[in-house]
Amino acid sequence: MQLKIFNNIFMDDVKKLLGQKIKELRKTRHFTQEKLAEMIGIEPPNLSYIETGRFYPSPDTLRRIAQALDVKIYELYKFDYLRPVSELKKELYKKLENDDELVRLVYKICESL
């Protein structure tokens, strides 16, 4: 039972990460959801559901998405595209600068590590 729950949680994470990756690639290519949906032959709401992790694309849809975005299918699953640490630090400092409660929360999290 626990393995099934773990698998469901893991698959939900993969769906969300895949959707985020597709959305990111779509935006870098300056495609609207409507444009990409038209290119791959699905309705815009279905693409929205894929990008939000609500739906997982069929293998054929995944292939068409990769073609339209000019990437290999495996590249859609490369989730190591996180921003550089220097950018994360800058964003974190900016957020912390104006929010004392957030500073306290981050401090507590760091202390617990």
Residues 56 and 16: beta-carbon distance below 8 Å: no
Domains for the chain: give ranges and CATH numbers.
2-77 (1.10.260.40), 82-113 (no CATH)
**How much is the mean pLDDT over the chain?**
85
17 vs 20: CA distance, rounded Å: 5
Taking only the tens place, the pLDDT of each residue in 44-73 is 999 999 999 999 999 999 999 999 999 999
Q: What percent of the chain has pLDDT over 70?
A: 85
pLDDT at residue 53, as a whole number: 92
pLDDT at residue 95, as a whole number: 84
Give every residue of the chain whose pLDDT is below 70, as ranges: 1-11, 80-84
